[in-house]
Structure 1
Amino acid sequence: MTLLEILWTSLKLGLTSFGGPVAHLAYFKEEYIDRKKWLNDRTYADLIAVCQFLPGPASSQVGMSIGMLRGGFVGGLVSWFGFTLPSVIVLIVFALLYQTFSLEDAVFIQSLKVVAAAVVLHALLGMGGKLAPDGMRKGMAVAAAVVMLLFPSAWVQLLVIAAAGIAGWTLFQNKAESTLESFDTGLSKKAGLISLSILLLLLVLLPVLSGAMENPLVRIFDIFFRVGALVFGGGHVVLPMIERELVPLGLLSADQFLAGYGMAQAVPGPLFTFSSYLGTMMQGIGGAVTATIAIFLPSFLLITAALPFLNELRRRVSFQAVLMGVNAAVVGILLAAFYDPVVQSSIFDTGDFALGLVLFALLNVWKVPAWMIVILGVAGGYILHFSGL
């Protein structure tokens, strides 16, 4: 009965949680804490803090954590499944329609790319204020952006993240919080160590298997697992890392990539379900299932590994300092991705720029939700098209 309750509650959230990770956390609080009282406010805040420290989609990880605390490891799986399924289905259907009806030149596809530009810029400014609040971290963000613009590759991105972590460990230990409350979890440290070992083993073995087998599904699993394990900063940061892995290799075009990213803004649930669209575009339904499981699997392994050691990790000044550096680099990586591929593949004339400017203002100034921005963006695109502007 507990698992069914977790499934129903998470499915309801998956159908109604529009607006991105911050909005998801507000929906979670209303449902899990205020209405159902599955945990208290302090525990919920601590879970959010931990998930912010980990790579992967923070809001999805919070949902997984609540499911695990309520129903064990299976409860975490059920919670993820319910929250993720609605947007997975919508994005798979969109990809199939895109392929079937040759939508590359459709007006609404171009409009979705302009929407993506407005949303990424809004996310960039919001993340910049939070993750690079001082001059030192702003400088690190700019440096990361310059390196990524001059040397755009997935491996360079990993080196930038690693260098930023080392710089953070050196520079920011005096900025770490010293008083953090502790709480108990229902997972053993042995389970945590096993989970972390599986994660590290897969990170080493999957590239080897991908190169040896030359199987497209194995290659997809390798790419999306690596992205899910190494993306800090939430869903929007998945954009540059996946783009570097897919578009330069010709696995899909920049237009196809951005059209799916724009559509992902219109659906509820986690932005990481963008992977379902990408997998479908590359290898059909099998590719969608493979990519979706691969990109979320590291989150399960990381949550299972982190929760038993939560108190020790959060109290470590060095751990907090490393992540401050990594988060600053994430802002720079997203800034580079905003120029290439987002702006280069979406803004072609003054009409596109004007539409993007209006959509950004609606997002940033008047706080219009992202799903409404998608509707307004598509409507605006058709108005410009039929008016000849």
Structure 2
Amino acid sequence: MPSYVARLRSLLERGRKALLPSGEAISKVPILDMLAHNWYLGFTSFGGPAVHFQIFRRLFVEKYQWIDETVYQEMFALCQALSGPGSTKMLYAINVLHYGFWTGIAAFFVWCLPMAIAAFGLALGVEQIDKKLPGPVYALLSGLNSATVGIIALAAYQLSDKAITDTLSRILVFVSAAAGTLYNALWYFPLLMVGGGLATVIWDLKLLQRVYRATRPSRPRPATPQAQDAELRSFEQAEIQSSVRSRPNVQSHAPDRHSPISSPSPSSHSHPETHTSLTTSWKLGAAIIAAFLASFAIVMTCRGIYGGSNRGFDVFANLYLAGTIIFGGGPVVIPLLREYIVAPGWVSPRDFLLGLAITQAFPGPNFNFAVYLGALSVSGSSIPAVFGALIGLVAIFTPGLWLHLGFMGLWMTVRKVPAVRACLRGIHAAAVGLVFTAVYRLFETGFLDSEVQNGGSLSRDPWWVVIIALSFVGGLHFKLTPPLAILLGAALGLVKYGVDTA
């Protein structure tokens, strides 16, 4: 009898390891090993990109130990500095570094396809509903949005705890959040991140001090060789200290204040250069970037010449343009898609906001919203809805992934340059500040009812603010997971409707 119990325990342990594996290889076949380590993320990663980055850090840095904390922070800054979906690029890049290009592409599809299919199904359903929804549906959607605001606010708080390493990074997070809240434009968010990068380059490399020393009146040089040697040693020491401060996270090997697990030290599998030669060649990286720029020029030229003649191409060209110029990930994609999809009259404002409210509660990438919009955009044309969904998927994701692959090759070459590392530290801080901006934007558009179908502020009723606080405090202190917070928010929204109509 004990032997049967031992066998049962062994089978259960094997099943547990297969479902929730460690970082060790489970299969010698890369695609199978990737599936074992990634299959569930597209179903369980709720909360949008800010939460995704936290999930990836716990998984790939702390548990799997595929990369170390320093590389993770650099990759985070690089993902935010380039256009396209931020968290999707992070997952894609980590898998490319660990397995190679083709397995990394497969990991992207494993990540995005589950909820892309759900977004397509949602589009088919929305196309059939009446213009005015039942009251309980609006209450449920407002509850979903309220819980999502709390989840993103918690992720912003936790990301800022990692981004803030000194006074300057603290200032950059605050200034970026405040500036992004006060003004919104397509060119504005990239400008804020560039400003953050320049600020840390100037500060970490002491450029102002160097300019001052170079422009002030010269003084007689030390007369003795001993004095000259002392001055040289002092200058070299200052350079070493500047290089140390220019690291993205000088506390990368200190214990995480929110986790009992300390950041692991770099190990043999923590160095991505050993996994694939694709990302170590700056020449190949430059060629990939040049190929993308050529494709972008061709698509935009055809958009100008043939625009309006075919709905499918128009949707592809608009979403391809949006995927190229979106900086900052999910928070920025919403107003841009409104301009390129709703403004031409392809999707109604009501359907846009309805889909936004529901897909915000989906796990996986927020860019799957483009799949929903692509399916609705071809409604009434000769193009089947499934082709519209595929157009949306390919057009919105391709530019960011294509560019990121090219820049990974350049990054491996220049990542050790002090100025580059200092710049990434500032971009990281500014990008985290913009996550707080995303919290505010969703808060101001999260309320929906029959009279406010274009979205209103959740401050209209304290009930929604309580749901926000509940999801934030629950996640911070009581280990309330994002899926449960989403369900709780929806349930409390229905409770609010029941109390109002009683």
Contact 2:204/2:246 (<8 A) preserved: yes
| Matching residue within 320, 330, 334 for 1:243 | 334
Residue 127 of structure 1 and its aligned partner are, at CA, apart by: 2.8
Q: State the match for 1:382 in structure 2.
A: 494
> Structure 1's 115 and 135: CA in aligned 2 closer, same or farther, altered over 3 A?
same
Q: State the match for 1:326 in structure 2.
A: 427
Alignment of structure 1 residues 220-299 onto 2, 5 Å: 220-221=315-316, 224-225=319-320, 228=323, 237-239=329-331, 241-247=332-338, 250-251=342-343, 259-264=354-359, 266-283=361-378, 284-299=385-400
Instruction: Please say which structure displays the higher CA radius of gyration.
Output: 2
Structure 2 SS opposite 1:120: helix
Residue 93 of structure 1 and its aligned partner are, at CA, apart by: 1.7
Q: State the match for 1:5 in structure 2.
A: 32
Residue 379 of structure 1 and its aligned partner are, at CA, apart by: 0.6
Which whole-Å CA distance do the structure 2 matches of 1:230 and 1:59 have between them? 16
Structure 2 SS opposite 1:377: helix
Give the partner amino acid of 2:371: S
> Structure 1's 67 and 166: CA in aligned 2 closer, same or farther, altered over 3 A?
closer
Residue 381 of structure 1 and its aligned partner are, at CA, apart by: 0.5
Structure 1 SS opposite 2:273: coil
Give the partner amino acid of 1:176: S
Structure 2 SS opposite 1:183: helix
Contact 2:333/2:367 (<8 A) preserved: no
Q: State the match for 2:480 in structure 1.
A: 368
Structure 2 SS opposite 1:154: coil
Q: State the match for 1:115 in structure 2.
A: 147
| Matching residue within 176, 183, 193 for 2:246 | 176
Residue 209 of structure 1 and its aligned partner are, at CA, apart by: 4.4
Is 2:412 aligned against 1:342? Answer: no
1:245-266 Cα deviation digits (max 9, x unpaired): 1335644677755654554454
Which whole-Å CA distance do the structure 2 matches of 1:355 and 1:256 have between them? 25
> Structure 1's 9 and 368: CA in aligned 2 closer, same or farther, altered over 3 A?
same
Q: State the match for 1:37 in structure 2.
A: none
Q: State the match for 1:48 in structure 2.
A: 72
Is 2:403 aligned against 1:312? Answer: no
1:17-57 Cα deviation digits (max 9, x unpaired): 435422245455799x5xxxxxxx36566763453232255
- Which runs of 5 or more residues in structure 2 are unaligned? 1-27, 206-241, 251-265, 379-384, 448-457
Alignment of structure 1 residues 136-215 onto 2, 5 Å: 136-173=168-205, 174=242, 175-177=245-247, 183-184=273-274, 185-187=276-278, 189=281, 190-202=283-295, 206-215=299-308
Q: State the match for 1:64 in structure 2.
A: 92
Is 2:128 aligned against 1:96? Answer: no
**How does the TM-score come out when normalised to structure 2?**
0.63
Contact 1:115/1:262 (<8 A) preserved: no
Contact 2:246/2:421 (<8 A) preserved: yes
Q: State the match for 1:128 in structure 2.
A: 160
* Coordinate RMSD, CA, aligned: 3.7
1:108-164 Cα deviation digits (max 9, x unpaired): 222222223222322332233333454433433444444444442212333333333
> Structure 1's 73 and 247: CA in aligned 2 closer, same or farther, altered over 3 A?
same
Which whole-Å CA distance do the structure 2 matches of 1:273 and 1:297 have between them? 13
| Matching residue within 106, 126, 150 for 1:78 | 106
Contact 2:77/2:425 (<8 A) preserved: no
**How does the TM-score come out when normalised to structure 1?**
0.79
Give the partner amino acid of 2:491: A
Which whole-Å CA distance do the structure 2 matches of 1:148 and 1:273 have between them? 24
Segment of structure 1 superposing worse, 335-344 or 352-361:
335-344
Structure 1 SS opposite 2:398: helix
In terms of fraction of residues, the more helix-rich structure is 1
Identity of aligned residues (%): 20
Residue 82 of structure 1 and its aligned partner are, at CA, apart by: 1.8
Give the partner amino acid of 1:122: L
Which whole-Å CA distance do the structure 2 matches of 1:253 and 1:142 have between them? 36
Which whole-Å CA distance do the structure 2 matches of 1:340 and 1:254 have between them? 17
Give the partner amino acid of 1:183: E
| Matching residue within 471, 495, 500 for 1:359 | 471
Give the partner amino acid of 1:243: I
Which whole-Å CA distance do the structure 2 matches of 1:10 and 1:85 have between them? 16
Contact 1:67/1:78 (<8 A) preserved: no
Which whole-Å CA distance do the structure 2 matches of 1:275 and 1:326 have between them? 26
1:38-90 Cα deviation digits (max 9, x unpaired): xxx36566763453232255654454345445664322222211222112112
Give the partner amino acid of 2:114: P
Residue 378 of structure 1 and its aligned partner are, at CA, apart by: 0.6
Which whole-Å CA distance do the structure 1 matches of 2:484 and 2:471 have between them? 10
Give the partner amino acid of 2:466: A
Which whole-Å CA distance do the structure 1 matches of 2:314 and 2:304 have between them? 8
Structure 1 SS opposite 2:127: helix
Is 2:115 aligned against 1:87? Answer: yes
Q: State the match for 2:220 in structure 1.
A: none
Which whole-Å CA distance do the structure 2 matches of 1:219 and 1:328 have between them? 36
Which whole-Å CA distance do the structure 2 matches of 1:300 and 1:226 have between them? 14
- Which runs of 5 or more residues in structure 1 are unaligned? 34-40
> Structure 1's 167 and 4: CA in aligned 2 closer, same or farther, altered over 3 A?
closer
Structure 2 SS opposite 1:247: helix
Count of matched residue pairs: 377
Contact 1:210/1:222 (<8 A) preserved: yes
Structure 2 SS opposite 1:139: helix
Residue 220 of structure 1 and its aligned partner are, at CA, apart by: 4.7
Residue 376 of structure 1 and its aligned partner are, at CA, apart by: 0.7
Which whole-Å CA distance do the structure 1 matches of 2:168 and 2:352 have between them? 33
